[in-house]
Amino acid sequence: MLEVAKEFKLESNYINGEWVAADSGETFNVENPATGEVIGTVPMSGAKETVRAIEAAHKAFETFRKISVMERVTMLRRLHDLILENQEALAQLLAAEQGKPIFEARGEVGFSANYVMWFAEEARRVYGETVPSPWADRRMMVTKEPVGVVGAITPWNFPSSMLARKIAPALAAGCTIVCKPAEATPYSGLAWGKLCEEAGIPAGVVNILTGDPVAIGEVLTSHPMVRKITFTGSTRVGKILMSQSVSTVKKISMEMGGNAPFIVFDDADVDSAVEGAIASKFRNSGQTCVCTNRIYVQSGIHDKFVEKFTAATAAMKVGQSNEDNVLQGPLINDAAVSKTKEFVKDAVEKGGVITTGGNAHDLGHGFFEPTVITNATQDMMFSKEEIFGPVAPVYKFETEEEAVAMANDTEFGLACYFYTKDLGRTYRVMEGLEYGLVGVNEGVITAVEAPFGGYKESGVGKEGGHQGIEDYLEEKYICIGGLGL
């Protein structure tokens, strides 16, 4: 059994530094997707609680924006240390509500701490500019200021680190924030409230509430006191939030869906391509927005790759988060299993050949067999849609141009990967792919030091890297005259 530590099984909202129930007293259940067991309940909040959280954040912003940067850095460093001190408890909590293997949950919590440290460091480097003045008697400068109250909505696939990417830069910039974690994984979200409280972050600066996504989302996107919306989730919901944010002209950062291609050229090292494909396809059971969705393999290496990739996929142990050597956990819910089955059925009907897996796993609940389908074609459902499950379609191609064209044949543009040893091809393909993140001979490339964000319908803005704080800052141009120069 996973241990859900009492101190992190928080069943209230964290608003204005207080732990409070929903106004109606209503709650909803949080389940372990590997067993169906109810772990506990959290508040079913709506519009009224959201308004109160926004007002608290707005009030807190008046003072928080004025404290020294070193005070904010100190708070972030304490937050970083607290995350690491509680890494095991937070990982167990995350694994219980999300289902991922415990080693991945530990990694995610560590990654959250890394984001907090990174933005604590970046807080000290929010440089402005002096601008050469066209007037002899005036001086010009550009300063940076926090945007104000931020509304954040996050998904269930990385319930800790997706909040880290938003809370840490917001605080580093001097913003305050109202967060709504996903319904499936609210405890990892509420844990941030407790950690922020213990780190001495003032009341109202970070607020976390759970509940009805539509009601909370509507208030966050329309309330005039919220100056920025940051979202990670599906393109469908991101577009709704973007359009709702129009009437009050909020700044927006959106990390939305992906449809990552993974291209293997004839000259690639097949073993490292297989290793990269396994890591990039099956991490979090295929439930990440940078997960490989389509594998394109050049004809000369195709059969060898398929043989080794199928064997590596079949060898992955599926099971509960805390079992030894487990690499694949359950999908988040039954709907995800049904959707995965639909992808497989559609592919088989159109000529796809299953080389391993293909069915719901004997373990039941959210479990699905890691699956490889060859003979994939561009008319199959997964060529256009994000699978978000452990199914790996393999397509065969002949030329470099053909591979790049097929890889770009999607409205998404988040991550892509390719394997080759040829330097010229590396540059041609790297520059030809319309994606925000490119892995060359690497299948897992996310790092706190690098900007994460998509082209096309995959998103707007960047998280992480030195760019990650910019979305939380306004630039103010100042012209000073009357200087007697």
Provide the binding-site residues for ligand ADP, judged by CB under 6 A.
Answer: 153-155, 180, 182-183, 213-214, 217, 233-234, 237, 240-241
Distance of CA 330 to the CA centre of its chain: 19
Q: Residue 410: how many CB atoms within 10 A of its CB?
A: 25
* Helices marked H in 86-101: 87-98
Catalytic site residue from 31, 49, 104, 255:
255
Q: CA–CA separation, 374 vs 306, rounded Å? A: 8
Residues 6+ apart with CB under 8 A from 364: none
In the complex with ligand ADP, the residue whose CB is nearer, 140 or 460, is 460
Q: How far is the CB of 263 from ligand ADP (least distance, A)?
A: 26
In the complex with ligand ADP, the residue whose CB is nearer, 274 or 336, is 336
In the complex with ligand ADP, the residue whose CB is nearer, 154 or 230, is 154
Catalytic site residue from 175, 179, 196, 289:
289
Q: How far is the CB of 286 from ligand ADP (least distance, A)?
A: 12
Tell me which residue of 59, 53, 58, 60 sits closest to 216, measured CA to CA. Answer: 53
Annotated catalytic, 289?
A: yes
Tell me which residue of 178, 183, 186 sits closest to 160, measured CA to CA. Answer: 186
Q: How far is the CB of 240 from ligand ADP (least distance, A)?
A: 5
In the complex with ligand ADP, the residue whose CB is nearer, 43 or 358, is 43
Q: How far is the CB of 186 from ligand ADP (least distance, A)?
A: 9
In the complex with ligand ADP, the residue whose CB is nearer, 160 or 313, is 160
Q: Give 56: exposed, middle or buried? Use CB within 10 Å, 0-12, 13-18, 19+.
A: buried
Closest residue to ligand ADP, judged by C-beta, is 217
Q: How far is the CB of 21 from ligand ADP (least distance, A)?
A: 19
Amino acid at 442: E
In the complex with ligand ADP, the residue whose CB is nearer, 400 or 457, is 457
DSSP string, 398-412: --HHHHHHHHH-SSE
Residues 6+ apart with CB under 8 A from 13: 19, 20, 21, 22, 43, 45, 49, 53, 190, 207, 208, 209, 210
Q: How wide is the angle at C-alpha 377 spanned by C-alphas 375 and 379, nearest 5°?
A: 145
Q: How far is the CB of 233 from ligand ADP (least distance, A)?
A: 3
Active site residues: 255, 289
